[in-house]
Structure 1
Amino acid sequence: MKRIFFSFAIFLASGIAVSQPVVKQAPAGFDSLQTGIPHGRIDTVSYSSATVGSVRRALVYTPPGFSKNKKYPVLYLLHGIGGDEKEWFRHGSPQVILDNLYAEKKLQPMIVVLPNGRAMKDDRATGNIMAPDKVQAFATFEKDLLNDLIPFIERKYPARKDRENRAIAGLSMGGGQSLNFGLGNLDKFAWVGGFSSAPNTKLPEQLVPNPDEAKKKLKLLWISCGDNDNLISFSKRTHDYLAKEKVPHIFYVEPGVHDFKVWKNDLYLFSQFLFKPVDQSLFSKFTVLGIPASTNVRAAGYPQILPDHRVIFRINAPEAQKVQVDLGRKYDLVKGNAGVWEATTDSIGEGFHYYSLLIDGVAVADPASETFYGMGRMASGIEIPFDGGGYYAEREVPHGEIRMKRYYSEVLNTWRRFFIYTPPGYDQSAAKYPVLYLLHGGGEDERGWAMQGKTDLILDNLIADSKAKPMLIVMMDGNVSSGRFNEQSLRTFEAELKTSVIPFVESNYRTEAGSAGRALAGLSLGGIQTLYAGIKNTGMFSYLGVFSSGWFAGQNEITDPQYKFIAENISSINSNLKSLWIAMGGKEDIAYNNCKTMMSKFDDLKIKYTYSEYPGGHTWPVWRNNLYNFAQVLFK
């Protein structure tokens, strides 16, 4: 893999700006002993631990040119569950890595302390290292570190004693300790690093219960892990929480597993940040690899999403002559070794996006991605996380269900199906529920809202937060004609809704009777179907939601009869509808002009409506947000 470089100015304490190149991976030879350069010194020290009730040992590295007449910041560097104070020294060569960095003038002079993180009298890594008392000793080390070791180091060495001159980092079990102790003691540490942090890492909400305090006090929070490390989920859950809470940090994913090749690279990179001003705006760019998209098939490593929402695609197609990814914009992939093609996109917007591979001009689904029915066929999809996506996150709340139900349509003379969301507690309750009939767009079907739309998660969270009433949501198939979109296809849809779907739902589910307990909404084509069937039947529906849609601008055989009907029924429409809720994706939405023209005509006709706009175009991120807001209006 190519090593990528970028640079920024580091302003030293003296105020002199030094341009320091920072690499995303350590260069060859970074951990090799060099002759002809100054070397630091590494010694064993003993200190009395009141916490443990014994004398304990640690290694201490002092930098080249160390002087007792000068004050130094201190890094506490912790080992893993199977190691002791000598693990880094034996396998990680920290003194070699740091000596080489000093020779290149890339480090601030610092003392590095390598303690034994197993705070018990028999602290050797012998016997059953997973024994409960030995595991507990790693937690006990917090007290030993704060009350015994740090005071000892600050008495014996010319160490600076303020939090801004203390750092803590570690690997595996030591990575969990570093996050637990560092983030749990922000009055003691301003620099915190977790390398491949182990399951001892606290839950993110416990690590950072006060995000605002962390933002103010942390100089650097570094979280790193190898992409093939089985423990990466612990690092990712911490990163996800920090990203949601907007706590600046580096989430560094690199090629590798749970070994010292990864951890030496981490030390090389992490140490260069310490005890200097840092540019937090660069944090999101500081990574080699991303995290596999949540929409990938099981165990697929690509596509990967980088912290700044660029996407890395990697396709194995050795016989292909040209490979592209069509993600709204087409990206050319470059062929590498063994016929593997790769490209990195620009930053991609929030939420769900369809995409296709173009292999020698033929559009195909990516075998590494889950497929979704959209664009009139099965297509690949990618989910881009974003800070505001918590309203459809999986949370510890009561969950409803999405069920598939088959029925026979007398209108179309065929078996059909719909998906239905039942709220939490539906089966245990005798209550009757209002119903939202929710329609997909063109090129999609009844699976759209159930899969791409995340309807169940949106409603589960809203109901748990008491922001929406428990309701049934019926996601029917709006594809009722294989022919041209016209007045007849809209009539057929209306008949299917009124004479097939609604009667079947009300015969098979516990529903509230009457128009007050019914709502109809849809996106794009489903929005037009909502306008047609909803406006004509306000005696059946009290709420209509029109997402990214609107009657076509200009005069035509479909639009004209609709406005004629509206003009003749203004009073009943306004009185029957509790809410006509219209939402768009902003000017980038392809239906924007039609919608604006329609609302202008509604204004002329004095039709009451509510308008909402959410940036993002004609896409699922917009429609998820529309459902989130519209559901809060319903049945109240």
Structure 2
Amino acid sequence: MYLKTTASRPKIFNGTHLKYLLLLLLAGSLGARAQESQVHEEVVVKSTLLKKDMKLALYLPPGYATSTRKYPVLYLLHGGGDDHTGWVQFGEMQRLVDEGIRAGRVAPMIVVMPDAERTYYLNSAAGTYQYEDYFIQELIPYIEKNYRCRPEKQYRALAGLSMGGFGSLLYALHHPELFSACAAMSAAVRTDEEINALPHDEFLRRYRTALGEVPANAHRITDFWNQNSILYLMQNLPEAQKTAVRYYLDCGDDDFLYKGNATLHTLMRDRNIPHEYRVRDGGHTWSYWRSGLPAALEFISQSFHH
């Protein structure tokens, strides 16, 4: 018995077929990209209060482009030597957030990284450069108007490093009605003794934008200072606000800011203010903050899930 076989002929694609295949490949590529996270580094907010354009970097989670879902928002604040791109360029935040989301440890979220210059996130003492007012009155409304955000307090949080750790604590204490959680890494919290011991030029370098040209012989611990001092605000936190925000502190054992962070932890323990406190091996470095960001994101995500 013989079986008759016929060789299959190679398919010949004409221009229409090729065009169709290219469209399919392009659609598949675009679909895959739509499922990836995106970072936009040069978003501009026109500020009436500051009378200038302010920049921010923005992380949109995987699937944002193709969904109608509303997301919680984390405001991730940079340190004194950086700008709005610091967390993206040196902190590798996109990779770390993506990994946490894929592993199910981190909630899909929008991450906003504003440029705070060297304001320490403060309104200026002279009332001429009100960065905190800009953040609360213009930045947050801009984000919630232009991106799909969950607008409730439960779905809004703060985190930051160094100057940004100070800023995240400051806004959590000044505006507990707006934020559910605060994760401060290597926060630039200093005791009054440390503030008074700073050389005059160093004091001005750090605080000139907020405090102005403070004379060398002037008192540094003023009413304005106390209104913005993390230690003073925590010491005088009303009983009703002790559980208004969930707090997470993380500072390396070799960090020069160890004293302020340890003092803050002790104060919060003595006043029975709930918080988590971490001391890990390391100093005031990007490697420390990169290694600490995943745990901070998990802490923030727990608040979003409550």
With normalisation by structure 1, the TM-score equals 0.35
Distance 1:480 1:498, change over 3 A: farther
Per-residue displacement from partner, 1:96-119 (whole Å, max 9, x unpaired)? xxxxxxxxxxxxxxxxxxxxxxxx
Please tell me whether the aligned partners of residues 581 and 611 of structure 1 are also in contact (alpha carbons under 8 angstroms): yes
Give the % identical residues: 28
Structure-2 separation of matches of 1:461 and 1:601: 35
In the alignment, structure 2 segments of 5+ residues that lack a partner are: 1-34, 194-220
Q: Matches of 1:515 and 1:626 in 2, distance apart? A: 24
SS at match of 1:606: coil
Distance 2:225 2:250 in 1: 19
1:399 aligns with 2:36: yes
Match of 2:275 in 1: 609
Deviations 1:462-481 (A, max 9, x none): 11111111000000001164
Which residue number in structure 1 is paired with residue 75 of structure 2? 437
- When residues 479 and 490 of structure 1 are mapped into structure 2, their CA distance, relative to the original with a 3 A threshold, is farther
Instruction: State the match for 1:583 in structure 2.
Output: 250
What's the counterpart of residue 214 of structure 2?
A: none
Choose between structure 1 and 2 for higher RCO, CA contacts under 8 A separated by at least 6 residues. 2
Q: CA deviation at 1:443?
A: 1.5
- The answer on 1:415 being equivalent to 2:53 is yes
Displacement of 1:493 in angstroms is 2.8
Distance 1:559 1:412, change over 3 A: closer
Counterpart contact for 1:436–1:520, Cα < 8 Å: yes
Rounded Cα–Cα distance in structure 2 between residues aligned with 1:498 and 1:592: 29
Q: Which residue of 1 aligns with 2:9?
A: none
Aligned residues of 2:159 and 2:183 also touching (Cα < 8 A): yes
The correspondence for 1:595, drawn from 239, 261, 268, is: 261
Equivalence map 1:232-243=2 (5 Å): none
Count of aligned residue pairs for this structure pair:
236
What's the secondary structure of 1:632's corresponding residue? Answer: helix
Work out the CA distance in 1 between the residues paired with 2:234 and 2:128.
16
1:571 to 220, 239, 246: 239
In the aligned structure 2, how far is the partner of 1:572 from the partner of 1:435?
Answer: 25
Distance 2:235 2:119 in 1: 28
Which of 82, 89, 113 is residue 475 of structure 1 equivalent to?
Answer: 113
The residue type equivalent to 1:615 in the other structure is D
Contact 1:553 1:598 in 2 (8 A): no
C-alpha distance in structure 1 between counterparts of 2:288 and 2:126, whole Å: 29
* Counterpart amino acid of residue 53 in structure 2: W
Distance 1:435 1:607, change over 3 A: same
User: Which structure 1 segments of 5+ residues have no match?
Assistant: 1-397
Aligned counterpart, 2:290:
624
Cα drift, residue 432 of structure 1: 0.3
Which residue of structure 2 lines up, in the alignment, with residue 427 of structure 1? 65
Aligned to 2:166: 528
- Residue number in structure 1 paired with 2:142: 504
8 Å CA contact 1:437, 1:521 repeated in 2: yes
What's the offset of the Cα at 1:569? 3.2
Give the counterpart letter for 1:592 in structure 2: Y
Greater radius of gyration (CA): 1
1-side partners of 2:38 and 2:298: how far apart? 19
Q: Which amino acid aligns with 1:466?
A: G
Among candidates 186, 191, 194, match of residue 548 of structure 1: 186
Take 2:270 and 2:51, find their aligned partners in 1: how far apart are those partners?
42
- Determine which structure has the larger strand proportion and give its number: 1
More helix by share: 2
Matches of residues 54-133 of structure 1 in structure 2 within 5 Å? none
Q: Aligned partners of 1:489 and 1:421: how far apart in 2?
A: 32
Report the equivalent of 2:213.
Answer: none
Q: What SS does the aligned partner of 1:576 have?
A: coil
- 1:596, CA displacement in angstroms? 0.8
Residue by residue over 1:10-30, the C-alpha shift from the partner in whole angstroms, topping out at 9 and shown as x without a partner, is xxxxxxxxxxxxxxxxxxxxx
Gap change, CA 1:553 and 1:567, over 3 Å in 2:
closer
Task: List aligned pairs for 1:211-360, cutoff 5 A.
Answer: none
Deviations 1:581-604 (A, max 9, x none): 000121x11111111112222222
